[in-house]
A and B are shown apart, each in its own frame.
Chain A
Amino acid sequence: MTVATAAELPAEPAARDTTQRAHVLRRLFRDKVAFCAAIVLTLVGLSAIFAPVVAPHDPYLTDLSKVMQPPDLFDADKWSAKGPRHWFGTDNTGRDILSRVIYGARNTLLMGLCGVLIGGMLGGLLGILAAYYRKADGYIMRVVDIMLAFPALLIGLALAAIFGAGLTAVLIALVVSDIPGVARVARGSAMGVMGQEYMEAGRAVGVSDFTLIWRYLTLNCISTIFVYLTLRFGQTILIGSALGFLGMGAQPPVAELGMMAAQGRDFLFMAPHIATIPSLAIFVIVLAANLLGDALRDVLDPRLQT
């Protein structure tokens, strides 16, 4: 009987979970900036998921009769005109930029999300294991320190040199660059939990290592890790798109925002919108992610203040 109660202790918050979550959301959305950021991110996310439905044109269809058309958006006369619209104009081969931005955002977001999620899982695991198995702590953190010695962009360059440029190289670079930070945050948070009495109680009643790590440690650290990852998301996208801009990421004709900006650079003086619009799209996504991350941190974990 005692065993059951001890094991249930940390799991008990599960009952409160829904009310707590509603409370967090309510506090989050009282902040107007965070609310707007959430809406922007949701819209961008939805349009990325449903890109084939949302995009007005085929993002890969070139049309040499409509090369480098300026955005219709800036031309009020064209708003009511009939026929297919190019709200963001067309690029140097006549492809519709709005459609390419929608598809590009899809790849860019996916890249950032995979980087943060995979890196977060691996880093979180490392950090929690380091906190739990004190003997491994020194070794794990030493490895993490070495990983920290490589700026993400350099890892990306090195991987692109080894495997050739492509999304895989960028993705691995993003994962590797996210691991050390998450590992440190997770370790710090897990160390706090390790000092709690229920950890000792769990151990005393003979709960297995796996259960202790998963139900006691991980579930209690997860909100801190989550907040940190939200804050990292924007940075991850920035690094990914910088690698794309350098030509180390997605290869043409695949649309990726950083690479699109680089391609437009060659036509900057004739048609500045080709490079500016994808860059602006990255800016909007990262800004929304950062604002939401900041607000989330204030609500969930004010200690993570940077």
Chain B
Amino acid sequence: MGRQIAHRLLISIPALVGVLFLCFCLMQVVPADPAMIIAGPDAKKETIDAIRKDLGLDRPIPIQFIEYIVRVVQGDLGRSIISNKKVIEELSQTIGPTVELMLGAMLLAVPIGMSLGTLAAVKRGSVVDRIIMAFSVAGVSMPVFFIGLILIQYVGFKWALLPFTGRTGPVWAGGLPSLILPAVTLGAVLIGPISRLTRTAVLEVLGADFVRTARAKGLRETVVIVHHALRNALIPVVTLIGLQAAFLLGGAVVTETMFAWPGVGRLAVGAIVSSDFPTAQGAIMILAMAFLLINLLVDVLYVFLDPRVQRG
């Protein structure tokens, strides 16, 4: 098992380098020359060259890339052009709320989605199945912001039940009410795909020999479904939930922007709109790395869940 996890870690390195390279390119193609900005508009050519040398901008691109990686590893992501704060500080303040939002959404979506999917599979072909599947196709087709707009309009504004802008604090410090609407918005888009995937996975398992054996042994139907079918169906479901990570991440960016949630996604969007390149680059890098990490975790979990998994 250790070997498999190590192997998985190794093959995620090219992707990590890819992420870093994209972020590095982001800094390269930025229209403004940093040396010229620092030197000011009337600076002599010699001054600009001196600053360029100082910043290491005169060296070959591959060397600059390696230096960039070294800086990233040291946590030096530059300073925000707008707030002049260190980008790494901005990121450390925003990563918590983003993780909180994603966890909240998953805590909501995974149990609901999986129970709906299992129910639909067990009652295959019935009205219940049809309703659940119609609901999940609708969910898959719904833009994230549509759900958000409706929740803000009704729950937040008309009925004034819950706050819908900003974050009042961490969950343990009374921040739960402000988390609910964003988490429901983000979770709602995940329920559809999860229930669909669970249904397919459970249906496949229900046809397996060991389920027939379990039934033949005279086990109660609930035990057969929960212990034998659902447990085995978990394996594909976990991987597929991992594939939803892109969905989750993209949805989080939109949700944060809508609800003024102080997370990394909102930071990235704000930085891009205001041409704050260092911040945008840092935020995009963190989001891409988060995505890699989620996929890595899912793969590791997969090894734990399914002892049959062979390397490669």
Check: A294 CB closer than 8 A to any chain B CB: yes
Instruction: Name the residue of chain A whose CB is nearest to the CB of B149.
Output: A275
Centre residue among B22, B157, B295 by max chain A CB count within 10 A: B22
| Extra 4 A-B pairs, beta carbons < 8 Å, given A146-B14, A157-B253, A162-B26 | A151-B250, A238-B143, A283-B142, A286-B143
Q: How many residues of A contact B (CB 8 A)?
A: 45
Contact A290 to B137, CB < 8 A, known contacts A157-B268, A247-B273, A268-B153 = yes
Bound Cα distance A282, B144 (Å): 11
Contact in complex: A269, B250 (CB < 8 Å) = no
Check: A89 CB closer than 8 A to any chain B CB: no
The contact of A261 among B138, B145, B284, by CB within 8 Å, is B145
Question: Count the A-B residue pairs with Cβ separation under 8 angstroms: how many?
Answer: 139
Contact A268 to B284, CB < 8 A, known contacts A153-B250, A241-B143, A286-B141 = no
Instruction: Name the residue of chain A whose CB is nearest to the CB of B142.
Output: A283
Bound Cα distance A279, B153 (Å): 14
The SS class assigned to the B binding surface is helix
Check: B272 CB closer than 8 A to any chain A CB: yes
Check: B115 CB closer than 8 A to any chain A CB: no
Check: B18 CB closer than 8 A to any chain A CB: yes
Contact in complex: B143, A279 (CB < 8 Å) = yes
A interface with B by C-beta (< 8 Å) = 142, 145-146, 149-154, 157-158, 160-162, 165, 234, 238-239, 241-242, 245-248, 258, 261-262, 265, 268-269, 272, 275-276, 279-280, 282-283, 286-287, 289-291, 294, 305-306
Contact in complex: A262, B145 (CB < 8 Å) = yes
Check: B4 CB closer than 8 A to any chain A CB: no
Cβ distance B7 to chain A, nearest Cβ, rounded Å = 14
B interface with A by C-beta (< 8 Å) = 11, 14-15, 18-19, 22-23, 25-26, 29-30, 137-138, 140-146, 149-150, 152-153, 157, 196-197, 200, 240, 245-246, 249-250, 253-254, 257-258, 268-269, 271-273, 277, 280-281, 284, 287-288, 291-292, 295
The contact of B143 among A149, A282, A305, by CB within 8 Å, is A282
Contact in complex: B253, A265 (CB < 8 Å) = no
Instruction: Name the residue of chain B whose CB is nearest to the CB of A160.
Output: B272
- Which residues of chain A have C-beta atoms less than 8 A from B280's C-beta? 157, 161
Contact in complex: A149, B19 (CB < 8 Å) = yes
Bound Cα distance A87, B124 (Å): 41
Cβ distance B257 to chain A, nearest Cβ, rounded Å = 6
Contact in complex: A149, B292 (CB < 8 Å) = yes
- Which residues of chain A have C-beta atoms less than 8 A from B30's C-beta? 162
Bound Cα distance A238, B269 (Å): 18
Cβ distance A147 to chain B, nearest Cβ, rounded Å = 8
Cβ distance A207 to chain B, nearest Cβ, rounded Å = 33
- Which residues of chain B have C-beta atoms less than 8 A from A234's C-beta? 140-141
- Which residues of chain B have C-beta atoms less than 8 A from A241's C-beta? 143
Bound Cα distance A151, B277 (Å): 20
Contact in complex: A242, B15 (CB < 8 Å) = no
- Which residues of chain A have C-beta atoms less than 8 A from B152's C-beta? 268
Contact A246 to B269, CB < 8 A, known contacts A158-B284, A162-B29, A268-B149 = yes
